[in-house]
């Protein structure tokens, strides 16, 4: 029996995946728990210690361009529109994200996917020039050879974004794991009417930002033909079961409520597949390049391989 070391985040729609560990005849999933998913993303980008792993899509793009032997399946784990999630000190006058130019903005590290999305969305929707914002970070980048733009500043070792907010060094930061989720100052969204703005954005562009994709080492795919399709099928089945029971949950979580709300205008709140996510994947690849996280052009369809339509044995290639 082959056992594939697998790292997945604690997502409700994966209950069915975790319950059925036999993925192919003679092949089983061995789930590995990690304390922080960003640490698994970093390890997968640097040394690929797992056979199958959820991975931040921007980190995947950077690793793939550098030659990592990984293939992402277009199975996004979480979805969140990114007009929201960037917060300012309550009461700070900021009429538009365009006014972030010339300011300092706190973020865990420059390449975190939440920030890549927000910089890109604000550039497209408000004309923000991300190069005119000083991005203040608290952690090293996950890929140590990343040449950061000149407008990225690292806090002194041991200092946190929350600390910089507390003393007034910065007034704007990403929330949650992307920045200052533990801030002790009162914060409010930069885009006050974000939910309505995000709905109009989706209706206009079809872009529905992704966070987390499933990556598989290429040698594992080669050893187990049919694994990519089996994974896709199992993830789809588990998701469909989750969505079917979503409305009847007695105590829905924050994510449950968000997917119920989003489903009213996006349809499937967790779409899987390349065609279903083409606009979003293409936008992310474009944003990663304009923000100097990847250096050479590539087509999204060569990077995110849909086993339903790709030739047997196809793996991701940076081209």
Is the pLDDT reported for residue 177 higher than 90? no
Helix (H) or strand (E) holding 49: none
Which residue, chain included where needed, has tokens 């790709």?
310
Q: What is the pLDDT of residue 307?
A: 98
CA angle, 141 as apex, 140 and 143 as ends, to 5°?
A: 130
Is the pLDDT reported for residue 156 higher than 90? yes
- Closest Cα to residue 263, out of 79, 132, 73, 43? 79
Q: Which residue has the higher pLDDT, 183 or 204?
A: 204
pLDDT tens digits along 229-241:
999 999 999 999 9
Is the pLDDT reported for residue 213 higher than 80? yes
Q: What is the pLDDT of residue 249?
A: 93
Q: What is the pLDDT of residue 108?
A: 94
Give percent of the chain with pLDDT exceeding 90.
95
Within 8 A by CB and 6+ apart from 204, the residues are none
Binning pLDDT at 50, 70 and 90, where does residue 183 land? confident
Is the pLDDT reported for residue 150 higher than 90? yes
The lowest-confidence range among 1-10, 109-118, 139-148, 289-298 is: 139-148
pLDDT tens digits along 23-79:
999 999 999 999 999 999 999 999 999 999 999 999 999 999 999 999 999 999 999
Binning pLDDT at 50, 70 and 90, where does residue 178 land? confident
- Are 154 and 60 spatial neighbours (Cβ–Cβ below 8 Å)? no
| This prediction's pTM | 0.96
Helix (H) or strand (E) holding 147: none
What domains appear along the chain, each with residue ranges and CATH number? Answer: 2-79+209-303 (3.40.190.10), 86-205 (3.40.190)
Binning pLDDT at 50, 70 and 90, where does residue 144 land? confident
Q: Angle, to 10 degrees, between the axis of helix 113-126 and the axis of helix 57-65?
A: 100
Task: Report the half-sphere exposure of 170 (CA within 13 A, side-chain side).
Answer: 33
Is the pLDDT reported for residue 181 higher than 90? no
């Amino acid at each position: 029996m082959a056992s594939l070391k697998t790292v997945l985040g604690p997502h409700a729609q994966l209950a069915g995946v975790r319950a059925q560990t036999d993925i192919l005849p003679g092949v089983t999933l061995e789930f590995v728990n990690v304390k922080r998913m960003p640490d698994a993303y970093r390890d997968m980008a640097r040394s690929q210690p797992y056979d199958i792993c959820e991975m931040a899509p921007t980190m995947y793009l950077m690793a793939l361009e550098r030659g990592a032997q990984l293939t992402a399946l277009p199975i996004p784990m979480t979805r969140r529109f990114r007009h929201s999630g960037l917060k300012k000190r309550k009461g700070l006058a900021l009429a538009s994200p365009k006014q972030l130019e010339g300011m300092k903005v706190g973020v865990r590290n420059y390449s975190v996917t939440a920030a890549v999305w927000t910089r890109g969305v604000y550039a497209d929707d408000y004309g923000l020039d991300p190069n005119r914002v000083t991005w203040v970070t608290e952690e090293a980048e996950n890929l140590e050879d990343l040449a950061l733009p000149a407008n990225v500043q690292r806090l002194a070792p041991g200092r946190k974004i929350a600390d910089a907010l507390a003393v007034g060094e910065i007034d704007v930061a990403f929330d949650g794991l992307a920045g200052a989720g533990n801030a002790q100052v009162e914060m409010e969204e930069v885009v006050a009417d974000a939910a309505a703005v995000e709905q109009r954005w989706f209706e206009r562009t079809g872009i529905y930002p992704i966070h987390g994709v499933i990556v598989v080492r290429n040698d594992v795919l080669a050893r187990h033909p049919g694994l990519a399709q089996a994974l896709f099928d199992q993830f789809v089945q588990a998701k469909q079961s989750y969505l079917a029971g979503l409305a009847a949950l007695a105590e829905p979580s924050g994510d449950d409520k968000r997917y119920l709300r989003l489903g009213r205008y996006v349809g499937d709140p967790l779409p899987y597949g390349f065609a279903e996510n083409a606009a979003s994947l293409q936008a992310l690849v474009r944003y990663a390049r304009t923000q100097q996280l990847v250096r050479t052009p590539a087509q999204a369809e060569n990077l995110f391989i849909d086993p339903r339509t790709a030739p047997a044995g196809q793996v991701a290639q940076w081209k």
